[in-house]
Chains A and B, each alone.
Chain A
Amino acid sequence: MPYFGSEETVKELKRALSNPNVQADRLRYKNYISKVIRSGLDVSTLFMDMVKASATVDIVQKKLVYLYMCTYASDKPDLALLAINTLRKYCADPNPMVRGLALSNMCNFRMPGMTEYIEQPIVAGLRDKASYVRRVAVLGCAKMHSLQPNTEIDGIIVNELYALLRDPDPVVVVNCLRALEEILKDEGGVVINKPIAHHLLNRMKDLDSWAQSEVLTFLLRYRPRSDDELFDVLSLLDSFLQSTHAHVAVATLRLFLHLASAHPAVQADALLCTSAPLLATCGAASRELRFAGLCHVQKVMRSQPGLFSTHYKRFFCGYSEPTYIKFHKMEILVELVNDENVALVLEELSSYCTDVSPELAQAAIAAIGRIARTYSEKCLDILTGLLALKQDHITSAVIQTFRDLVWFCPQSTAAVCQTVEVCVDSPQDSEQALLWLLGEHGEKISSAPYVMEGYVDGLKTELSLAVKMELLTTAVKMFLCRPAETQDMLGRLLHYCIEEESDVCVRDRALLYYRLLQRGVEETRKVVTGPKSDPSMSVLTERQEEPISQWASTFNTLGPLSGHDLCLQTAVISAADQPSNSTEKDPNDTEEEISLSLGPPLSHETFEKMWLDLEILHRQTLGSPLPRTALDMLQAALQLVKIQTLAFTPGDTVPWKAYIYTRSTGTLILAELLQGDPQAPGSDESLVVSVKQQPVNQHAIRGFASILKSVLQTLNDDSS
């Protein structure tokens, strides 16, 4: 951005640069050059003077001038061509440093038509006797290709680069790989065949850590022919599992997991070996590294939950750690809880509950809530104790945790109800949770009607729609179990909601309950009361050990770092892309088969969250019972039609449940298969599918249901 006086400054600089006195004094000359670069102005008019300044023996000055040239070359292509001649001259300098610098900067000029000037120096550079120049020349090939990405690949250069993989200088070797990868991007990257793979494996020791981890990633492309070869490769790599550099260790682990996918014992050994470097990363001085370490530990724990359980103390949070690290540490701690460490872990987590940061405190409370599903007694004591603090954000988080807890493990209901008794004036954001608890378990909470009374009286000032809806439901449920105390209240509530409420949703809900009550109490009870808890949901929450292959492919990439968010994001993004497509479609072709796809895998947490958030869109009896074949057969069959099975109960349990998901033209379909639902008699014989979807696309649901139906039919036909 030129501002007033900038022209003057540039002119002044120009005068100074062309002043022979200045040129004679090296120090002054260089000072002026650095002034040009630091000026922050548009100094492209000085190009010629700067090119002249490159004729010096001083390497630092040369570098400065080159930096200037690279920045302005694209603005002044005609002048840059003049500079190229000078640079080409330097490419023949006896000093390899000068040769290398000239070559690398010449390749950095980003302007059209450069290729014809740089090709010859690059090819010469590839055969230079100084390794410094060869390194530069090899990358120069990649730069040259990126200047003209659409031209045909130069076979001679590619062959030359493949030959240079045998160069004695390790950096040249790795640069060759990088350059080839870049040039052959469209053809799937550099090809790693047996001789190359073995050569690289043997050179591993000479490479620096960056190169090592890169080469390890390239080696993922190579598949050993036989088991003997495989084990030879693995034993060569063995020492790198415990490399000083965590990134090398993790890259090696990834390669191990990939190569030994058929040998679970080898994989387990490798994981055990790498656990030390991974743990060390979790305690690294740099937060970012620590974060990366934690994310990868979480990945590993999905398959080997026990691997880190003795080291749980390493995941205690330090006072000064940033929140994003603390969150991950807490998640890990929850997973690591066992009979021996539960006391210490809970003690530690409860000390986080009173943290200054409300987010952290709430996360800690939620973490305790998750542990409560297994160790309910101890956790309930802690949570109850927290209520006594009378801090709004803590109370609200505790009540929400209670709600989830009661839903997942009914045995804790009595204790929770006793506690809820105390906290009648619950803070804003937990009102819904409290009302739900009152509605479901009103008969066990003696003060329930009085709490309700307070809400009904304050209805006029209540703003939240959700709370009003919840209140209606709660009032009806309470009426069913304690009619004497609540009849009057319910009457007032319904009257207000029907007569005075402006929101249609609330009014309709009130009307619905009113008419329902007119049909009689028994009828209402049948409709309103559902199951009070759903222990079969624990199929989802109780983490089974995942196969390693589930996460191995994204291990040591950015994938684990962006975590679940990425999955959600991609789901949303693909959904956003879609509408244009579907509108173009002819409405007549609804009969056309829809295509399902798997897409990126969905994590248990994401599925659980979405399942709880979404409404059931479609429920249907599939007309055929659960096939008598083995469940893994069913899973495989579903996989074949691109439906992923997330979790299911063992085959002989009643009711039997499974959670599955798939993607289709931009929507994500989540579904639950259920057989022998006690709520719906007569369904013993047939599977019922409940579908939730985001975003809604009825056509896709129909297609999904019909595919599911045909799969089950085929399987049943086979087995009978």
Chain B
Amino acid sequence: MSASAVFVLDLKGKVLICRNYKGDVDMSEIDHFFSLLMLQEEEGLVCPVMSHGNALNVTLRNERASPVPCVQVFTEYFKELEEESIQDNFVVVYELLDELMDFGFPQTTDSKILQEYITQKGNKLEVAKTKVPTTVTNAVSWRSEGIKYKKNEVFIDVIESINVLVNANGSVMSSDIVGSIKLKTMLSGMPELRLGLNDRMLFALTGRDKGKSVAMEDVKFHQCVRLSRFESDRTISFIPPDGESELMSYRINTHVKPLIWIESVIEKFSHSRVEIMVKAKGQFKKQSVANNVEIHVPVPSDADSPKFKTSTGHAKYVPEKNLVVWSIKSFPGGKELLMRAHFGLPSVENHELEGRPPITVRFEIPYFTVSGIQVRYMKIIEKSGYQALPWVRYITQSGDYQLRTNS
């Protein structure tokens, strides 16, 4: 199994960039691809695997076709994957495609390491790299040797996103927490780090009281973490990659109370108006504050002349998305806020059926984790024996937070 060629297409199916790795498929095969895609799309059944003749196209649509790791790497390079960014940076894209795969086999896909292979900007010419990247021969493939910082620091971000799906009649269908621990490492040399969490399994192992501990599921680690040690005694020890990285992610499948509860009444009077009443309640501790709260309420596509009344924050109509966005800068726990909206409807009815999109909520609560997970310690040991400071920050934010509506 290997890839014969990689194509990056634009929205109209024009080839932006192609790289033929093996020369065993006709490069014009791709022309069939788009018409096939359109055909399937019309039937509403786009399936990621398509076959045409002997060529098997595995399409991975991210608005364009390209294999998964590339998208990830590309986004890390260009921040945002846009048609323009690919055109502007086609030199880098070709360089990347060359290093990512050879003869159709994936070679190096870690973007940290790729950055060493590839001179990122064309005009960095003066220091044209002539030495081979150190990581090529390194035992620790994710960290180069000889990194130096004046001030040694580690920033730890514990970020938990809540996914909630609430039914139209107000019962919570599913909820879970997806957490991740992110590092920003600014440490010299090859430091050994050890991270301590209030992990329930660990507490059970060491016989501590189970007062405040968290049971994690689906724990995934960055490749730097020594899995064998974690399995034997739940210690998270590692040599961190330099700069920003995601150390681990986990999932907690407990029933959480939705942190922001929404009650909505959407009344639609055909041919005349729509009246929306949304009540939002902060179901978290009084001391905490949710920041940048955005509540997206769907409205019919043919609604017009919006009128709003809010107790706090302000509401805005976004006609291109058929949404009312109610934004609240800060939302203290335990409070209950109200928004009323009024829309006119045309007297000629829209015949097209419309789906019923759910209400979605976005928010961010700093200094707080729903699961109660805590970093108990972070030990940093390096040969030279410097003192380093760990900084910890907790954030809870909304993930896929949907509340279905009745109308």
**A, B in one complex:** yes
Q: Indicate with 1 or 0, residue by residue over A60-76, a CB within 8 angstroms of chain B CB atoms.
A: 10011001000000000
With contact pairs A59-B129, A239-B228, A286-B60 given, residues A131 and B137 touching in the complex (Cβ less than 8 Å): yes
**Residue pair A347, B167 in contact (C-beta under 8 Å):** yes
Q: A402 contacts the other chain (Cβ, under 8 Å)? A: no
A contact residues around B300 at 8 Å (CB): none
A79-105 at interface with B (beta carbon < 8 Å): 95-98, 104
Picked from B56, B102, B119, B358, the residue with its CB within 8 Å of the CB of A558 is: B56
Picked from A98, A286, A288, A316, the residue with its CB within 8 Å of the CB of B173 is: A316
**Chain B residue, CB-CB nearest to A561:** B49
With contact pairs A95-B130, A277-B218, A356-B353 given, residues A291 and B48 touching in the complex (Cβ less than 8 Å): yes
| Assembled-state Cα–Cα distance A314/B109 (Å) | 30
A111-137 at interface with B (beta carbon < 8 Å): 130-132, 135-136
B273-314 at interface with A (beta carbon < 8 Å): none
Q: Smallest CB–CB gap between A705 and chain B, Å? A: 35
Q: A460 contacts the other chain (Cβ, under 8 Å)? A: no
Q: Indicate with 1 or 0, residue by residue over B46-66, a CB within 8 angstroms of chain A CB atoms.
A: 111101000010101110000
B contact residues around A97 at 8 Å (CB): 129-132
A153-208 at interface with B (beta carbon < 8 Å): 169, 171, 174-175, 178, 208
| Assembled-state Cα–Cα distance A319/B22 (Å) | 40
**Residue pair B402, A319 in contact (C-beta under 8 Å):** yes
Q: Indicate with 1 or 0, residue by residue over A24-53, a CB within 8 angstroms of chain B CB atoms.
A: 001100100010011000000000000000
Q: B91 contacts the other chain (Cβ, under 8 Å)? A: yes
A contact residues around B23 at 8 Å (CB): 110, 146
Q: A57 contacts the other chain (Cβ, under 8 Å)? A: yes
Q: B184 contacts the other chain (Cβ, under 8 Å)? A: no
**Chain B residue, CB-CB nearest to A566:** B51
**Residue pair A318, B106 in contact (C-beta under 8 Å):** no
Q: Smallest CB–CB gap between A212 and chain B, Å? A: 11
**Residue pair B174, A314 in contact (C-beta under 8 Å):** yes
**Residue pair B68, A355 in contact (C-beta under 8 Å):** no
A contact residues around B355 at 8 Å (CB): 319, 355-356
**Chain A residue, CB-CB nearest to B231:** A239
A contact residues around B51 at 8 Å (CB): 562
**Residue pair B46, A324 in contact (C-beta under 8 Å):** yes
Picked from B98, B125, B220, B228, the residue with its CB within 8 Å of the CB of A26 is: B125
Q: Smallest CB–CB gap between A388 and chain B, Å? A: 17
**Residue pair A136, B102 in contact (C-beta under 8 Å):** yes
**Residue pair A63, B174 in contact (C-beta under 8 Å):** no
A contact residues around B24 at 8 Å (CB): 146
A-B contact count (CB 8 A): 148
Q: Indicate with 1 or 0, residue by residue over B323-365, a CB within 8 angstroms of chain A CB atoms.
A: 0000000000000000000000000000001110110000000
Picked from B94, B128, B218, the residue with its CB within 8 Å of the CB of A280 is: B218
Q: Smallest CB–CB gap between B320 and chain A, Å? A: 16
Q: From A67, A289, A314, A359, name the one whose CB has the most chain B CB atoms within 10 angstroms.
A: A67
Q: Indicate with 1 or 0, residue by residue over B76-112, a CB within 8 angstroms of chain A CB atoms.
A: 0000000000000011001100100011011111100
**Residue pair A131, B136 in contact (C-beta under 8 Å):** yes
Q: Indicate with 1 or 0, residue by residue over B232-260, a CB within 8 angstroms of chain A CB atoms.
A: 00000000000000000001000000000
| Assembled-state Cα–Cα distance A276/B176 (Å) | 14
With contact pairs A130-B137, A132-B132, A356-B354 given, residues A63 and B95 touching in the complex (Cβ less than 8 Å): yes
Q: Indicate with 1 or 0, residue by residue over A292-333, a CB within 8 angstroms of chain B CB atoms.
A: 100000000000000000000110101100111001000000
Picked from B56, B119, B218, B353, the residue with its CB within 8 Å of the CB of A59 is: B119
Q: B400 contacts the other chain (Cβ, under 8 Å)? A: yes
**Residue pair B68, A286 in contact (C-beta under 8 Å):** yes
Q: A647 contacts the other chain (Cβ, under 8 Å)? A: no
A contact residues around B68 at 8 Å (CB): 286, 288-289
With contact pairs A132-B132, A143-B103, A356-B353 given, residues A171 and B48 touching in the complex (Cβ less than 8 Å): no
Q: Chain A at the B interface: mostly helix, strand, loop or mixed?
A: helix
**Residue pair B48, A239 in contact (C-beta under 8 Å):** no
Q: Indicate with 1 or 0, residue by residue over A266-288, a CB within 8 angstroms of chain B CB atoms.
A: 00000000001101100000111
**Residue pair A135, B22 in contact (C-beta under 8 Å):** no
Q: B197 contacts the other chain (Cβ, under 8 Å)? A: no
Picked from A37, A286, A351, the residue with its CB within 8 Å of the CB of B404 is: A351
Q: Smallest CB–CB gap between A336 and chain B, Å? A: 14
**Residue pair A132, B128 in contact (C-beta under 8 Å):** no
B contact residues around A356 at 8 Å (CB): 353-355
Q: B122 contacts the other chain (Cβ, under 8 Å)? A: yes
**Chain B residue, CB-CB nearest to A328:** B47
| Assembled-state Cα–Cα distance A355/B358 (Å) | 13
B contact residues around A211 at 8 Å (CB): 106
**Residue pair A319, B94 in contact (C-beta under 8 Å):** no
| Assembled-state Cα–Cα distance A614/B106 (Å) | 47
**Chain A residue, CB-CB nearest to B40:** A324
Q: B217 contacts the other chain (Cβ, under 8 Å)? A: yes
Q: Smallest CB–CB gap between A306 and chain B, Å? A: 18
Q: A210 contacts the other chain (Cβ, under 8 Å)? A: yes
Q: B384 contacts the other chain (Cβ, under 8 Å)? A: no
**Residue pair B91, A139 in contact (C-beta under 8 Å):** no
Which bracket fits the contact residues of B? Answer: 35 or more
**Residue pair A63, B128 in contact (C-beta under 8 Å):** no
Q: B165 contacts the other chain (Cβ, under 8 Å)? A: yes
Q: A544 contacts the other chain (Cβ, under 8 Å)? A: no
| Assembled-state Cα–Cα distance A25/B286 (Å) | 65
Q: A377 contacts the other chain (Cβ, under 8 Å)? A: no
Which bracket fits the contact residues of A? Answer: 35 or more
Q: Indicate with 1 or 0, residue by residue over B1-32, a CB within 8 angstroms of chain A CB atoms.
A: 11000000000000000000011100000000
Q: B206 contacts the other chain (Cβ, under 8 Å)? A: no
**Residue pair B128, A244 in contact (C-beta under 8 Å):** no
**Residue pair A178, B105 in contact (C-beta under 8 Å):** yes
**Residue pair B98, A288 in contact (C-beta under 8 Å):** no
| Assembled-state Cα–Cα distance A97/B220 (Å) | 34
**Residue pair B44, A357 in contact (C-beta under 8 Å):** yes
Q: Smallest CB–CB gap between B311 and chain A, Å? A: 28
Q: Smallest CB–CB gap between A293 and chain B, Å? A: 12
B contact residues around A276 at 8 Å (CB): 217-218
Q: B221 contacts the other chain (Cβ, under 8 Å)? A: yes
With contact pairs A67-B94, A130-B137, A286-B60 given, residues A171 and B107 touching in the complex (Cβ less than 8 Å): yes
Q: A142 contacts the other chain (Cβ, under 8 Å)? A: yes
A contact residues around B125 at 8 Å (CB): 26-27, 58
| Assembled-state Cα–Cα distance A60/B92 (Å) | 9
A contact residues around B45 at 8 Å (CB): 323-324, 327, 359
**Chain B residue, CB-CB nearest to A240:** B227
A contact residues around B215 at 8 Å (CB): none
Q: Smallest CB–CB gap between B102 and chain A, Å? A: 5
| Assembled-state Cα–Cα distance A425/B96 (Å) | 62
| Assembled-state Cα–Cα distance A13/B330 (Å) | 59
A contact residues around B131 at 8 Å (CB): 95, 97
Q: From A210, A244, A324, name the one whose CB has the most chain B CB atoms within 10 angstroms.
A: A244
**Residue pair B108, A171 in contact (C-beta under 8 Å):** yes
Picked from B2, B47, B217, B400, the residue with its CB within 8 Å of the CB of A324 is: B47
Q: A344 contacts the other chain (Cβ, under 8 Å)? A: yes
Q: A677 contacts the other chain (Cβ, under 8 Å)? A: no
**Residue pair A322, B46 in contact (C-beta under 8 Å):** yes
Additional pairs, 8, CB under 8 Å, beyond known A239-B228, A319-B404: A58-B128, A67-B94, A139-B105, A276-B218, A286-B60, A288-B48, A324-B47, A561-B48
Considering the complex of A and B, which 9 residue pairs feature the smallest CB-CB distances, nearest first? A313-B174, A244-B220, A356-B355, A210-B106, A96-B132, A288-B48, A561-B49, A139-B103, A288-B60
Query: Mind listing 23 A-B residue pairs with CB under 8 Å?
Result: A27-B123, A30-B122, A63-B94, A63-B98, A97-B131, A132-B136, A171-B107, A175-B107, A178-B2, A208-B110, A210-B106, A211-B106, A239-B228, A277-B218, A287-B48, A288-B68, A289-B68, A319-B357, A323-B45, A324-B47, A351-B404, A356-B353, A558-B58
Residues of A with Cβ closer than 8 Å to B? 26-27, 30, 34, 37-38, 57-60, 63-64, 67, 95-98, 104, 110, 130-132, 135-136, 139, 142-143, 146, 169, 171, 174-175, 178, 208, 210-211, 214, 217, 239, 244, 276-277, 279-280, 286-289, 291-292, 313-314, 316, 318-319, 322-324, 327, 344, 347-348, 351, 355-357, 359, 558, 561-562
